[in-house]
């Protein structure tokens, strides 16, 4: 496995950012968040980008960011939940990274996200139903990952250790 570069994918609320930070600490690597990079460059939040410019514009920004950072070395990328929906994004990531899908149930994700207001795709009357719907649509894309790891009811520490164990296994 390519332990030098790790890309974390999965639905919002599965812990990609926290796991990315923990892995960066343990492996002494930089962590790059596609969403944070987009917000920094646009000087506005993801919610504002969705509201003011729409999802297609956001996905275009996301694709450009993935194209750029997929060339990096010795990094961990915390990918926004929609990154894998674009085949080109996954192709780029898989070329230079071990892609890890942090998988969780819709119920677990809902519990993690129910107190947050900054998730534009969940700003609907029934966010739990929306999570299920989006998860079903995205699952085939997420499954393209090199590693699929169930994260339900696991701590960030446990998830990070699981990833390291898998990456350190002899091929």
> Is residue 169, in this structure, part of any structural domain at all?
no
Question: What local confidence, expressed as pLDDT, does residue 126 receive?
Answer: 87
> Is residue 170, in this structure, part of any structural domain at all?
no
Question: What local confidence, expressed as pLDDT, does residue 169 receive?
Answer: 75
- Residue 100 CA to residue 73 CA, distance in Å, equals 17
> Is residue 167, in this structure, part of any structural domain at all?
no
> Is residue 79, in this structure, part of any structural domain at all?
yes
Residue with tokens 């894309």: 141
- Residue 26 CA to residue 117 CA, distance in Å, equals 31
Here the tokens at position 86 are: 């674009």
Question: What local confidence, expressed as pLDDT, does residue 171 receive?
Answer: 59
pTM, two decimals, is 0.92
> Is residue 171, in this structure, part of any structural domain at all?
no
> Is residue 168, in this structure, part of any structural domain at all?
no
> Is residue 134, in this structure, part of any structural domain at all?
yes
Question: What local confidence, expressed as pLDDT, does residue 95 receive?
Answer: 93
User: Tens-of-pLDDT digits for all 171 residues of the chain?
Assistant: 456 799 999 998 899 999 999 999 999 999 999 999 999 999 999 989 999 999 999 999 999 999 999 999 999 999 999 999 998 999 999 999 999 999 999 999 988 887 776 676 677 888 889 899 999 999 999 999 999 999 999 999 999 999 999 998 765
Residue 131 structural domain: 6-153
Provide the CATH number for the domain around residue 52.
Answer: 3.40.50.300
* Beta-bridge partner residues of 100: 8, 147
Q: For residue 126, give Cα distances in angstroms to 6, 105, 121, 122, 155.
A: 34, 16, 11, 8, 27
Question: What local confidence, expressed as pLDDT, does residue 4 receive?
Answer: 78
């Amino acid at each position: 496995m390519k332990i030098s570069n790790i890309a974390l994918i999965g639905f919002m609320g599965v812990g990609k950012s926290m796991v990315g930070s923990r892995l960066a600490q343990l492996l002494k690597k930089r962590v790059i968040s596609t969403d944070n990079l987009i917000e920094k460059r646009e000087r506005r939040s993801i919610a504002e980008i969705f509201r003011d410019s729409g999802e297609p514009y956001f996905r275009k920004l996301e694709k450009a960011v993935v194209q750029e950072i997929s060339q990096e070395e010795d990094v961990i990328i915390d990918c926004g939940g929609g990154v894998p929906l674009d085949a080109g994004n996954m192709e780029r990531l898989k070329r230079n990274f071990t892609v890890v899908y942090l998988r969780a149930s819709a119920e677990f994700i809902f519990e993690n996200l129910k107190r947050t207001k900054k998730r534009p795709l969940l700003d609907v009357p029934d966010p739990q139903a929306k999570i299920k719907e989006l998860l079903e649509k995205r699952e085939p894309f997420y499954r393209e990952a090199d590693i699929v790891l169930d994260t339900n009811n696991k701590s960030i520490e446990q998830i990070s250790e699981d990833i390291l164990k898998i990456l350190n296994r002899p091929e």
